[in-house]
Structure 1
Amino acid sequence: MAKPGRPGAGGKGKKGATKGSGGQGRKKLEGRGPTPKAEDRVYHKAHKRRELAERSAAKRPQQRSSAPRRRPNDDNEYVTGRNSVLEALRTRIPAAALYVAQRVEMDDRVKEMLALARKRELAVLEVTRPELDRMAGFDGVHQGVALKVPPYEYAHPQDLLEQTLEQGSTPLFVALDGITDPRNLGAIIRSTAAFGGQGVIIPQRRSAGVNSAAWKTSAGAAARVPVAMASNLTSTLKELKKQGVFVLGLDGGGDVQMPAVELSDRPLVLVIGSEGDGLSRLVAETCDQIVSIPISDAAESLNAGIAASVALYQVATLRAAQG
């Protein structure tokens, strides 16, 4: 006679998953993942509402920020050289401290620097010449003085135009396409100031920024001539064209020589390309006219800073003759 089994231990039954156990249901749901959001389902009303909102946002003009633009990861810069430092202090650009070499020669410029620094309550620090050498960089000349300034605050191109028109002046800007040497940038800023230009426009990429080398070469003009940064140079030039600014590209292969330009009395932006590559294709296609500077066959091309100076001088001369 068989012994009775323990209650619940054994008994007949089916092997494996049974209906109601959840086994079969889990197998059916494997791999489906979480339920998509409503706006991610193409047939849902929420998805159509999101598409409509994105299309509307794309049609709206890009709102420019009133906050100053800065290049990412910029550190403090040092303006060096007596003329550059004095000009920066005279024009009251933001500064953190004035550094003076030990036993510096006290000429009139240094005396005025110290007076201006005291008036602005700037820290005046006496440092060794090796320390000033470090601030000035490998090829910098400090002449015993350096001014610590925060990262340069770039204007917006549209602000340049509005401010110039508010002042009752005929706009004359210089836009740079592929100028990567900050000394060229500084020289162009200086020439822009010398020949009555109201601003310089640089692209956010593939361009030198206003650093200590540009400050030095500008001989203080960077404190008077604003530099604007364009997120996209081609788009910025197109926008200026819509507002009546004539875009004049400077290139060795131009159809018209610079002295023959008869449009100098109207709002102008001169576009300067790099010495090696010239104007980029998209920028050249955006220009209303491409002009060249006549030079001797002994030279293949002009330095970008020199080319800008010649073009600005020609425009200034024509404007003076016409007005």
Structure 2
Amino acid sequence: MSRSKPANRRSSKPQRDTANSGRKNPRSFRQGNAATSQDSWLYGDHAVMAALANPARKVRRLVITRAKLEALDIDTRGGIEEIVAPEVVDKDTITALLPENALHQGIALLPAPLPEVTIADLPDAIASIPVVVAVLDQVTDPHNVGAILRSAAAFNVSALIMPDRHSPPVTGVLAKAASGALEMVPIIRVGNLSRALDQLAETGFWRIGLDGHATGELEQVADKFQKIAIVLGAEGKGLRQLTAQKCDLIAKLPISPRVESLNVSNAAAITFYELTRGKRSC
């Protein structure tokens, strides 16, 4: 189901009225500056190895214990040495480079930020495979954001969109929680979430907010759409009023009434599965 103009679909939805501000400058939606993007140490096996395997990722330093280096197979070790010269150090040296209590497993990497991505870079739908993006409304816990990234990678979500303010910077904590997915799912940071939602509508996305008090279930409201922006609010507070007003539809997950709500990362995983089940490419 598609609409040639986002404004036309406003009259057909029963749950929300919304306005489109007509944002025309996609280059203003950037993935943040060095202070708030991937300009910090990554650590742990999954995060570091995924970064090394990502051709878009430039590496500044790699520190590794001798035991960890010797445990790598010859091909892996040789491939790493083609990217960056490993600095063989002891565990205490690595620990001193990282935040307190960082579980580095004997390996850490200092990367350059990934190339910037904008909403204008998002792909179009192909055949019966939907394009799904996730929009986070003030989700501030880096562990939750990392877990959402991991689920996004598992279910082919095209990007994660979150505001510059009231969102965690992409640090080693977030990257470790993402378990390598930071290299697979682009993060698009935006200066104004409301305007970003307008731009998503302009590019054909149906914006579906997740709210446990909605009347319709996700499967019922999302089944006909090929470009979906699923909007997730902070745990406890949920979607802000202005964010909810920007959504075309509000939906809920079919959870038991014995449970009031789910952790936002758990809700995201279920939502991504529900949006892509039966429609995933082989």
Q: TM-score, normalised by structure 1?
A: 0.72
Question: Which shifted more, 271-280 or 312-321?
Answer: 312-321
Structure 1 residue 112 displacement after superposition: 5.1
Q: Is structure 2 residue 213 aligned with structure 1 residue 231?
A: no
For residues 126-174 of structure 1, what are the alpha-carbon distances to aligned partners after superposition, in whole Å with 9 as ceiling and x for unaligned?
22212222334223211111111134554212222xxx12977632100
Is the CA contact (8 Å cut-off) linking 2:125 and 2:226 kept in structure 1? no
Cα distance in structure 2, aligned partners of 1:207 and 1:279: 14
Identity over the aligned pairs, expressed in percent?
28
Amino acid at match of 2:181: A
Which residue of structure 2 lines up, in the alignment, with residue 139 of structure 1? 101
| Map 1:1-323 → 2, pairs under 5 A | 61-62=24-25, 64=27, 69-72=32-35, 76-92=39-55, 93-104=57-68, 106-108=70-72, 111=74, 113-120=76-83, 122-160=84-122, 164-165=123-124, 170-263=130-223, 265-320=225-280
Amino acid at match of 1:147: L
Instruction: Please tell me whether the aligned partners of residues 155 and 273 of structure 2 are also in contact (alpha carbons under 8 angstroms).
Output: yes
Q: Give secondary structure in 2 for the equivalent of 1:210.
A: coil
Question: 1:67 deviation in Å?
Answer: 7.8
Distance in 1, Cα, partners of 2:110 & 2:191: 27
User: C-alpha root-mean-square deviation of aligned residues, in Å?
Assistant: 2.8
Deviation at 1:261, TM superposition (A): 3.1
Deviation at residue 66 of structure 1 after TM alignment: 9.6
Partner of 1:8: none
CA deviation vs aligned residue, 1:175-210 (integer Å, no higher than 9, x gap): 100110111111111111111111110111111232
Between 1 and 2, higher relative CO (CA 8 Å, sep ≥ 6) is seen in: 2
Post-superposition Cα deviations, 1:43-63, rounded to whole Å, max 9, x if no partner, equal xxxxxxxxxxxxxxxx99436
Contact 1:98 1:117 in 2 (8 A): no
Query: Aligned partners of 1:216, 1:76: CA distance in 2, in Å?
Result: 14
What's 1:56 paired with? none
Contact in 2 for aligned 1:174/1:271 (Cα 8 Å):
yes
Letter paired with 1:81: G
Describe the superposition over 1:241-279 as per-residue Cα deviations: whole angstroms up to 9, x where unpaired: 122210011111122122333435410010111111000
Query: CA 1:203–1:112 in 2, change beyond 3 Å: closer, same or farther?
Result: farther
Q: Distance in 2 between matches of 1:150 and 1:165?
A: 29
Task: Measure, in 1, the Cα distance between the counterparts of 2:241 and 2:30.
Answer: 31
- What residue in structure 1 maps to residue 8 of structure 2? none
Deviations 1:78-106 (A, max 9, x none): 11111221111111311111111244373
Q: Which ranges of structure 1 fall in alignment gaps of 5 or more residues?
A: 1-58
Tell me the equivalent position of 1:3. none
Counterpart amino acid of residue 99 in structure 1: V
Whether the 8 Å CA contact 1:69–1:153 is kept in 2: the answer is no
Q: Which residue of 2 aligns with 1:37?
A: none
Report if the CA contact (8 A) 1:70-1:152 is conserved: no
Secondary structure of 1:96's counterpart equals strand
Partners of 2:208 and 2:38 lie apart in 1 by: 35
The Cα offsets for residues 11-45 of structure 1, whole Å up to 9 and x where unpaired, read as xxxxxxxxxxxxxxxxxxxxxxxxxxxxxxxxxxx
Contact 1:157 1:230 in 2 (8 A): no
2-structure distance, mates of 1:60, 1:195: 29
CA–CA separation in structure 1 for the residues paired with 2:36 and 2:200: 29
* 2:39/2:171 contact within 8 Å kept: no
Q: Which residue does 1:24 correspond to in 2?
A: none
Contact conserved, 1:234 with 1:282, CA < 8 A, in 2?
yes
1-structure distance, mates of 2:147, 2:124: 25
Q: Which moved more, 1:137-146 or 1:293-302?
A: 293-302
**CA shift at 1:73, angstroms?**
6.9
How far 1:224 moved relative to its partner? 1.4
Q: What TM-score does the superposition give when structure 2 sets the normalisation length?
A: 0.82
